[in-house]
Structure formats: structure tokens, C-alpha cells
Structure 1
Amino acid sequence: MGRPRAFDADEAVRAAVGLFGGRAYDGVSVDDLVSHLGVHRNSLYKTFGSKRGLYLIALRRHLAEDVRPLLDALADASDAAAALRLVASADLGMLLLAAVERAPVDEEVATEVTTALAAVDQALSDALDIPADLGAALTAAALGIHLRGRSDSAVAALARRLDPLT
């Protein structure tokens, strides 16, 4: 019989979300995971299978705990400016890094990212009662604002442009 696990796997995944969300997959080594998560290398592999295995679990946790609440909040957005502010201020770091770094080379990550972004598109379309293609364009614009520093002036300018459309 093996020894009981000496770490909390849930806490390790939560910490991994922070690491991968701040430094991306390729920016985090197994040594980084071992030292930051307080997990022995063997335990890491035994519990998660691999760095990629932990990454996928962390990505799914990020989608469930950071992106899903955004979708729920968008349903209550009163107007385009409010919806844009929600997207621009949400913690989407791991999703964005996954989209540019891992999705092009990892089909499973690509599926998760595509599904999450489509859900944001749909939530914006539904909240603002706009066509799906405009919801997708709005998602792209909101993520651009997010990447450029969450500028309230950019949100306000885009919202003013959307008013005739909604």
C-alpha cells in the first residue's frame, strides 16, 4: 500500500492555474511546478500524469471558475458598455495564453479554447440581442481591450459605436 498523498491536489491545480495563467505552458517548467506547488516530482506525475495533464486540468478549472462566471454575468449586462467592461475586467489570462500558445499545437486545448470563446460570443449576442457574427466581433474587440490594458475609454468608445447596432 502506498503512502497517502502529502499535498492537496485541488490546491495544486489552483496554484497551477496561476502559474500557467501568468507565464504560459512553455514558461513553466516541471521544476517550477514542483517548487511552486509544493509537490514532489513523483507525486506530480503520479497524480496528474504529466505537465500537460496538469495543464489540461488547470485550463478546465480556469474555464469553470473564471470564464463560466463571466458568461453568467453577461446574461445580466444592461448594455454594451457593461458587457464590454465585464469581458475587459475578467481574469482571462490562462484562456488567452492557451489560445495563442497551446491551441495551435494541441488539439485538445484548441477544442477547449474554441468552445469557451464560442460561449462568450453567444453570451454577448444573447445579452445584447445582436446577431451571432456581431457577438463574435464584439468578443474579439473586448479581448483586444483586455489585452491592451482594460481601458475604460476604449470600452466607452466601442460601446458608443455599438449603440446604433443594438
Structure 2
Amino acid sequence: MGRPRTFDEERAVESAAELFARHGYEGTSVDDLVTAIGVHRGSLYKVFGSKRGLYLTALRRHLDRHVLPLAGRVAAAPDPVRALTAAADAYDSGPAAGLLLLAQAETAHRDPEVAALTAEGFGALEEAIAAVLAASDGPAAEAGPDLARALTAAVLGLRLRSRTADAAAGPGAARALAACLAPPPADRPTGE
């Protein structure tokens, strides 16, 4: 009979996700992980196989717990304005906020498993926005997947920008973008 694990695997993955989100895969050493998690290097390797194994586990868990549920909330929004506002306000939220974006930028181009996970997350958001657009009135409904792709890219760009110097840019800019999609009020001429 083996010795019982001496650490909380759930907490270990959460701590690792936070580190990877802050410093990236390359910027996070095994020593950083061991220190943050509070386990011996051997325990980390025994449970996750490698730093990459822990990274993939953290990324998958972040996707399942934060990104995909957000895509579900975006898809349930009653209109494009609220969908984009919800996406910009909360996209990639949680303690590991930014992990998906950083994974895409840093490692997806050379790691097919990371590429598949990031594609799943970004694809879910794109599909959610496309569903809301399709159910809306006006030109947004007719634009289809191309507009959904463009809006998803805009939301992701705003999210990336909010990670840097302009933290307040994301939600306000997303609301302004979303307002452009709103049909004009009934009492306002449409320009005809």
C-alpha cells in the first residue's frame, strides 16, 4: 500500500494556475511551483508527471471552471450588447485570469495539446457570441460567423490590454462596441 498524498491536489492545481497566469509557462520554474504548492519535487512529478503535465491540468481546469461557464452565460444573454458586456467584464475570470490568453500567446504555437485547449476556449466564446447575434434583430443577425469572430477577437484584445497598463479599458470599450450593434431606438430615424 502506497503512502497517502500529503497535499491537496485541487489546491495545487489552483496555485499552479495562478503562477502560470502571472508568469507564463516559461517564466514559472519547477522550484516556483514546489514553493507555491508546498510539496516536494518528487510528489509533484509523481502526481502530474512533469511541469507540462501540471500546466495542462491547470489549463484544462481553468477552461472547465471559468471559461466554458462564461461562454454559457454569454450565449444566454438576451442581446448582443449584454453578451459582449458580460464577455468583457468576466472573460477568463478567476484567480488564474489571463491563463488562456497567455497560453495562446506563449505555448499554443508549439504545443498541440495547448493549442487544442485554447481553441476550445476561444471557440466556445465565438460560438456563444454567434448564437446571440443570430437570435438578434437587425444587421448583426445577418453578419453571422464573421462578425462573431471579429467581436471575439475584439473582446480578447480588450482583455489582453486590460492585463497591462489600461486595466479599465476592457469593460468600457466592450460596452461601446456592443452599443454599435444595438438596433436604433424606434423613435430615432435609421438614416433612410
- Which aligned runs of 4 or more in structure 1 are off by greater than 4 angstroms? none
Which residue identity is paired with 1:134? L
Match of 1:158 among 160, 173, 177: 177
Q: TM-score, normalised by structure 2?
A: 0.80
Q: CA deviation at 1:153?
A: 3.0
Q: CA RMSD of the aligned region, Å? A: 1.7
User: Which one has a bigger Cα radius of gyration?
Assistant: 2
Identity of matched residues, %: 51
Structure 2 SS opposite 1:7: coil
Structure 2 SS opposite 1:132: helix
Aligned to 2:6: 6
Aligned to 1:140: 153
Structure 2 SS opposite 1:148: helix
Structure 2 SS opposite 1:78: coil
* Alpha-carbon distance in 1 for matches of 2:14, 2:180: 38
The answer (yes or no) to whether the contact 2:74–2:84 under 8 Å persists in 1 is no
* Alpha-carbon distance in 2 for matches of 1:102, 1:122: 23
Instruction: Work out whether 1:80 is the aligned partner of 2:80.
Output: yes
Deviation string, structure 1 residues 79-98 (Cα, Å, up to 9, x no partner): 22322222212214110000
Deviation string, structure 1 residues 33-81 (Cα, Å, up to 9, x no partner): 0000111100000000000000000000000001011011112212223
Q: CA deviation at 1:160?
A: 2.6
**Which structure's residues are more often helix, by fraction?**
1
- For residues 72-111 of structure 1, the aligned pairs below 5 Å read 72-90=72-90, 91=93, 92-111=97-116
Which residue identity is paired with 1:141? A
Aligned to 2:119: 114
Deviation string, structure 1 residues 133-162 (Cα, Å, up to 9, x no partner): 211111001111112225343123211322
Name which of structure 1's ranges 17-26 and 149-158 shifts more when overlaid on structure 2.
149-158
Aligned to 1:34: 34
Gap runs ≥5 in structure 2? 135-140, 163-167, 184-192
Size of the aligned set, in residue pairs, is 165
* Alpha-carbon distance in 2 for matches of 1:97, 1:137: 20
* Alpha-carbon distance in 2 for matches of 1:52, 1:147: 23
Q: CA deviation at 1:103?
A: 0.2
- For residues 39-54 of structure 1, the aligned pairs below 5 Å read 39-54=39-54
Deviation string, structure 1 residues 123-142 (Cα, Å, up to 9, x no partner): 11102224112111110011
Q: TM-score, normalised by structure 1?
A: 0.92
